[in-house]
Structure 1
């Protein structure tokens, strides 16, 4: 699994969650991102046994572990994150659960994998942590490591689907990392990265969108 205490945190211009690691799963549960949300994410991902899957911005590794179960021992699920505390916790949880999921320190703008390696990439609530240029670089890297015909399943903030949400999110229009989301521009970023089949396949609380994008 690796010893994160001897590893060096990679440099990135994106947000890195460190002190949140011990309470991250609780925070997700408190805002409604429980097991049902993870199951919905994997339902849209259409994982199959034997596939090579990458989870970018894996956090504590919950989704990566579930993906590993879906693809079985004949496949491989790898989660990357720039946060040493997150990766350390993900590895501990995987070891306790006897999960086949693997975890590495890494950043989306420099994915440490060869081109055309993965059948699928998962990105769950990661994109909004990246400023605009880093979104472009990161999505370009995701496109690079996917096999021809491979797909990205990304879930993140989108233009609110209910008027009441605007009361809470309009200040985000002044935050560089989130403005593209609130304006509904993420499909444009996906197409600019080289993805040719981009579609919204689901919504969550009228605020998050599940996008499928194919190479």
Structure 2
């Protein structure tokens, strides 16, 4: 089973990922996790990160260029994802294709039915043949809470300074709206929306039901 955790920067995706892992393992399921972007492992992810922190000239100004870098990062992990889905009962991904769709649409002030969302779908699931998730979980938290957490994380982790996307409150609000629309439409597969106080063990049970 391939499960994706989606949400704003600072939503608590990493915490939910680990909580779900514990919940599944308590039910005797073998579990593995992978986070995107793969900073420090993928040249495409690292180029994107450098651009979002002011590097590479005007690269970050191009929505499609940045989306392509993030997509290439995932394309480079395609075989690894497939290997893990063969070996484990549950594979949990912290961010996946919907992140690219939501943030790109928000940057262009488009909705979930906009051109860039369709382009991301065709590029990643079509041309790059990435596996479709069985479930996509939207961790839906207020923008203010997500921003608070992102600021706190940046202060505590020296390698997690907030990037241009994370510092843009308007972008985060628009991204949240696109995410909710993607979830409502079951974009690229089934979605479930989780509140900030979701109990991971209960969510794990629901995903297996």
Identify the TM-score tier after normalising by the shorter chain.
Answer: 0.3 to 0.5
The structure richer in strand per residue is: 1
TM-score scaled to structure 2, two decimals?
Answer: 0.36
Greater relative CO, 1 or 2 (CA 8 Å, sep 6+):
2
The structure richer in helix per residue is: 2
TM-score scaled to structure 1, two decimals?
Answer: 0.36
